[in-house]
Structure 1
Amino acid sequence: MNTEQPLVHMEGITKRFAGVTANFGINFEVRRGEVHALLGENGAGKSTLMNILYGLYRPDGGKIFISGKEISFSSPGDARKAGIGMVHQHFMLIRSQTVWENMILGLDGLPLVLPRREIKERILGISEQYGLQVDPDAYIWQLSIGEQQRVAILQMLFRQANILILDEPTAVLTPQECEHLFETVRQMTAEGHGIVFISHKLDEVMGLSSRVTILRRGKLAGTLDTSSTTKERLAELMVGKKMVFSIDKKELARGRPVLECSSLHALGDRGFPAVSGASISVHEHEILGIAGVAGNGQQELCEAMVGLRKAESGSVRVKGEDMTNRAPKDFIDRGVHYIPADRKGTGLVPNMKVSENSILKRYWKRPVSKGFFIKWSEVAAFAIKLVSQFSVSTPSVETPVRNLSGGNLQKLMLGRELSDDPAVVLAVHPTWGLDVAATCFVREQLLSHRERGGAVLLVSEDLDELISMSDRLAVMCKGEIMGVLERPADVPVESIGLMMAGTVIRDEAFGREGSQE
């Protein structure tokens, strides 16, 4: 029997927001030298509980003990002084400042004249050690979402936290980088650190954690030893019903090309090449996956293929028509729809209502508009139908989208883009940070679109998702297409990981597109 005081003990934690109980009487603890996984659907209360532990929220009831001593946090600074570090799913970074400036925000004892060189050298040393490469002088606004997550992880490592809260830490890593991170986590636990591991990837939870706590609708559904449970049981506790994990993807004959790019070159936000000579095509009845470590040109490629980023050279065609550097509205009118990774910053307008966000791609079309006027009754009717069809949980269509959970934000954006059966959908990280049920729903909708004759360009850092969903798989590194796999399921994951790191591998599973020729 383990009689040692746990590093963290949270007892009877309750938190309410405007009459909604986010946490109700939750007990949670982290022992020295363990990885304790925290599971639950979006909106189950995981982030609220961890924000309380990190000092961002104060509980309405309950107690917190750190190494046996009761503590009340008034701010994240108090939590950091107690040795707690947290990497949030939605990163707490200052976009207008550089990487190295973000690293030292809130640190005590800094000299009046900052030792910039020493700070940058330490950042580079840690980034090299953990395989999380970043430029210390880059501004946060210039970085992709994946690169921002790397900065958030490095920030925690920089501050030498003893109790680490990792919220979806592997979402943007290659298999090799994931394993490296897992080795680091195991080393940390061997040294006595306690780690809270929040992930929707149940295989990772089963392979890394010692115990698992599951929340459902703000309440504790159970705490189990990982060795004595299964991922099916964990999923059932999360959603309250049995879940089917297999993907039913029908064999379909590939149709005509819908969206193509040839020798495409585009610059990133910092003015350097981000896409270098990319050539790919997406066909009817097809999901073309794009694999790559975040920041290797995937986002810029998609933006150039929907008119959001200038193509420096090369071409973009929609159903054979040259659309290079046309306006985004022209792409929308020709059936090219885009689901960006940044839900709140690019895909949706947080302060606008659900109904208003639902018509962002159709406000100039009938029956929503008539001349220069919007018919709000039609807007409401359309939004109500969309919310019902795509299972968006919202108090009403008049609710600002900032009040919705991540899963419901994604369902709303997905429904808006798929509601009129576009010719092609470019989906960038469509299941990133979503719970099991929401992930299954999004995947089913993309597969259904494929079956109806639509084309899907799927960008993800989840290789399991890409391999199971994609008919073909393109791999990107440093803006180049390293190869296009005709049968991705036949290629070892390790080989795909090497390609993501820049190695060209010749294999009979490769198609004709891509630089391997």
Structure 2
Amino acid sequence: MNESQYVIEMENITKEFGTFKANDNINLRVKKGEIHALLGENGAGKSTLMNILSGLLEPTSGTIRINGVEKQINNPTVANQLGIGMVHQHFMLIDNFTIAENIILGSEPTNAGVVDHKKAYQDIMAVSERYGFKIEPDQLVSNVSVGMQQRVEIIKTLYRGAEILIFDEPTAVLTPQEIDELISIMHGLVDEGKSIVIITHKLDEIKAVADRCTVIRRGQSIDTVNVADVSQQELADLMVGRSVSFKTPKGPSHPTHPVLEIKELVVKENRGLDAVKGLNLEVRAGEVLGIAGIDGNGQSELLQAISGMRKVESGTITINGKEMTNSRPRSITENSFGHVPEDRHRYGLVLPMSVAENIALQTYYKAPLSQYGILKYPTINSFARELIEEFDVRTVNELVPVRSLSGGNQQKAIIAREIARDPDLLMVAQPTRGLDVGAIEYIHKRLIEQRDNGKGVLLVSFELDEILNVSDRIAVMFEGDIVGIVDPAETTEQELGLLMAGVSLTEARRMLAEGQEGVGASE
């Protein structure tokens, strides 16, 4: 056998879709037992390259060697046989199956032609315990957190015997705590002799987890660097091809009247328990109010209640001076309300429809996009082209299905649609989830621009640096209520972490003054 220090060698990989080159002579070499980051902007071709490695796509040209031996990987089964497993950004799980059923799907152990559930259960628990995963195999996937769903995806690849694991934007939907857990899981896998490729554009993560990093820009490999030898700024500049600013430039806010008033709001979650418990909140025109909190503390239910997607049990929601409690989503939207939802696939886009149709979703029934109830496609398409240009949505054209765009470009399309309507209240949830530094810089700038134009912005994010960078005031949510409102200029990540763990503001400040921040944060 040809011994190689590289488990993966991809040479001169080109992938063409019609006249568009998603990958253009890319080279990637991954050493055995390393964590190798693949860094690039949204739409740079990272996922395409890994879809080729995992057998979902075939390259137009180029060579792939696994452990020094040239291989044709023309479907995922071949990739599995070669020990390659991919954990996708949007999980490939069936909601109404249990965790165990999802893990064994397609690789079920059988006994006399019948699925051997007992053996499957034992095998799953053996993999889980070996790598330190805590799972409940009988739980339905629809009932577990996003972080747990990701663990199920990882166990699924290990159960199938993966030696090379590909993680596509693995932290895009995780809380800070889940990210720390994932990083320690990755280190554990590498200690066991696995090799990992992580597709990402989060520079702090690359510094925390990766040994080497290959940078891809506009479909071409630019450079491979040792992560220890470069700064985050150097990585960002390599990725975008220019100097990138991490701090959003903004002047002081000049808030005026309230555009959102929430009083004594109670909202239930799916199981009928109170998720929002007597919450009071105000967002004023000319400010960005950030909501910080660990996932699962009522943020989703709050946003759904404001946007009319979930019933309010009691309390009131007033938008632009008009009470909108339990109004229909369209009535709320027409009251100068814009919404960038946290789950872009479920609530933000209709994936089989074109980019242009998705951009028109909020206003298709009005002039100039329709007349006498008939859609005017030339106008819809030219309107979409304007926004694609203005918001730098990377797409072949406005007519392709929106599902063919990278996650970050899908997000830019939603943000373009909502900002173009110029709403008085713009509610954005996880606006930069899965976006690269260049796109994050751009979107933060647009949010500040809305604020400076006298609009109210409600920002919900699990990214503390985003909340600190963009907000004028930060409200911290814990167990369905606001535990404190702080000024970003006067707070710290440690203080926010304590508030997010349910410590009161006065107690958090006392603990920090006494150097005790570890106590509450870990509880």
Q: TM-score range by the shorter chain?
A: 0.7 to 0.9
Query: What does 1:192-271 correspond to in 2, within 5 Å?
Result: 192-271=193-272
Aligned length: 506
Residues 475 and 483, structure 1, Cα contact 8 Å, conserved in 2: yes
Distance in 2 between residues matched to 1:135 and 1:475, nearest whole Å: 33
Rate the CA distance shift 1:83–1:397 in 2: closer, same or farther, 3 A: closer
C-alpha distance in 2 between matches for 1:135 and 1:308: 31
Q: Map of 1:38-53 to 2, 5 A cutoff?
A: 38-53=38-53
Distance verdict in 2 for CA 1:160–1:399, change over 3 Å? closer
Instruction: Write the distance in 2 (CA, Å) between the matches of 1:312 and 1:121.
Output: 45
- Counterparts in 2 of 1:40 and 1:180: CA distance versus 1, 3 Å: same
Q: Is the 8 A contact 1:350 1:400 kept in 2?
A: yes
Q: Match of 1:161, SS? A: coil
Instruction: Quote the Cα distance in structure 2 between the aligned partners of 1:174 and 1:343.
Output: 17
Contact 2:288 2:456 in 1 (8 A): yes
Shift of 1:386: 2.6
Q: CA RMSD of the aligned region, Å?
A: 3.1
Displacement, 1:371? 4.2
d(CA) in 1 for partners of 2:471, 2:317: 22
Comparing 200-209 with 113-122, which one deviates more in the overlay? 113-122
Contact 1:87 1:165 in 2 (8 A): yes
Deviation, 1:503, is 4.7
Q: How many Å apart are 1:167 and its aligned residue?
A: 1.9
Superposed displacement of residue 505, structure 1: 5.1
User: How far apart are the structure 1 equivalents of 2:447 and 2:122?
Assistant: 43
C-alpha distance in 1 between matches for 2:349 and 2:95: 19
TM alignment of 1:59-458, pairs within 5 A = 59-111=59-111, 112-115=114-117, 119=121, 126=128, 136-140=138-142, 148-156=149-157, 161-458=162-459
Report deviation, 1:486.
1.4
Inter-partner Cα distance in structure 1 for 2:431 and 2:185: 28
Aligned equivalents of 1:460 and 1:230: distance in 2? 25
Structure 1: stretches of 5+ with no match in the other structure: 511-517
Contact 1:264 1:313 survives alignment (8 Å)? yes
| Deviation of the 1:302 alpha carbon | 0.6
Distance 1:49 1:114, change over 3 A: same
The residue type equivalent to 1:458 in the other structure is L
What are the ranges of 5 or more consecutive residues in structure 2 without an aligned counterpart?
A: 511-523
Higher alpha-carbon deviation: 398-407 or 316-325? 398-407
Q: Distance in 1 between matches of 2:243 and 2:378?
A: 39
Residue 139 of structure 1: how far off its partner (Å): 4.0
Q: CA deviation at 1:118?
A: 7.2
Alpha-carbon distance in 1 for matches of 2:316, 2:501: 26
Q: Secondary structure at the match of 1:119?
A: helix
Query: CA distance change for structure 1 residues 199 and 354 in 2, over 3 Å: closer, same or farther?
Result: closer
Would you say the 8 A contact 2:121–2:137 is kept in 1? no
Distance 1:71 1:394, change over 3 A: closer
State the distance in 2 between where 1:473 and 1:324 align: 24
Task: Tell me the amino acid that sits aligned with residue 25 of structure 1.
Answer: N
2:34: which partner in 1?
Answer: 34
User: Offset at 1:453?
Assistant: 1.2
SS where residue 260 of structure 2 aligns? strand
In the alignment, residue 433 of structure 2 is paired with which amino acid? W
Counterpart amino acid of residue 348 in structure 1? L
Shift of 1:148: 4.2
> How far off is 1:469 after superposition?
1.3
- Matched residues in 1 for 2:131 and 2:395: separation? 44
Assess if the C-alpha contact under 8 Å between 2:484 and 2:505 holds in 1: no
Alpha-carbon deviation of 1:376?
4.2
Kindly state the Cα deviation for residue 147 of structure 1 after the two structures are TM-superposed.
5.8
* 1:155-201 Cα shifts (integer Å, max 9, x gaps): 44555633222222223334343333323322332332211122211
Please state whether the residue corresponding to 2:316 is helix, strand or coil: strand
User: TM-score when scaled to structure 1?
Assistant: 0.87
**Distance apart, 1:435 and its partner CA:** 1.8
**Change beyond 3 A, Cα 1:458–1:364:** same
Rate the CA distance shift 1:134–1:279 in 2: closer, same or farther, 3 A: farther
Contact 1:126 1:158 in 2 (8 A): no
Letter paired with 1:200:
H
Partners of 2:421 and 2:402 in 1: how far apart? 21
Q: What code does the residue aligned with 1:312 have?
A: E
Match of 1:483 in 2: 483
Shift of 1:305: 0.5
- 2:314 and 2:148 map into 1 onto residues whose CA distance is 26
Kept after mapping to 2: 8 A contact 1:171/1:432: yes
Residues 160 and 178 (structure 1 numbering): CA distance in 2 closer, same or farther, change over 3 Å? Answer: farther
Label 1:170 to 1:143 Cα distance change in 2 as closer, same or farther (>3 A).
Answer: same
The aligned amino acid for 1:205 is: I
Find the residue that maps to 1:476 and give its secondary structure: strand
CA deviation digits over 1:67-102, x for unaligned, max 9? 333333343233233332221112222244333322
- Cα distance change, pair 423–157 in 1 and its aligned pair in 2 (3 A): farther
Distance of 1:123 and 1:505 partners within structure 2: 42
How far is 1:429 from its partner?
A: 1.5
What do residues 238-292 of structure 1 show as CA deviations (whole Å, max 9, x unaligned)? 2222222221122113322211323323233455544333332222122222233
Indicate the SS of the match to 2:6: coil
Moved more, 489-498 or 39-48: 489-498
The code of the aligned residue for 2:37 comes to A
Contact 2:468/2:488 (8 A) holds in 1: yes
Q: Is the 8 A contact 2:55 2:75 kept in 1?
A: yes
Task: Tell me which moved more, 254-263 or 321-330.
Answer: 254-263
In structure 2, what is the Cα distance between the partners aligned to 1:366 and 1:163?
A: 53
How far has the Cα of 1:228 moved from its partner? 2.0
Structure 1 residue matching 2:506: 3-state secondary structure:
coil
**Which AA in structure 2 matches 1:34?**
E
Task: Report if the CA contact (8 A) 2:354-2:398 is conserved.
Answer: yes
Distance 1:187 1:373, change over 3 A: closer
Task: State the shift of 1:372 in Å.
Answer: 3.1
Q: SS in structure 2 opposite 1:506? A: helix
- Deviation per residue, 1:117-150 (Å, 9 max, x gap): 973995699499868777852343x667666445
The aligned amino acid for 2:483 is G
TM-score, normalised to structure 2, is 0.86
Alignment-derived partner of residue 519 in structure 2? none
Question: In 1, distance between residues paired with 2:476 and 2:17?
Answer: 44
Residue 378 of structure 1: how far off its partner (Å): 4.0
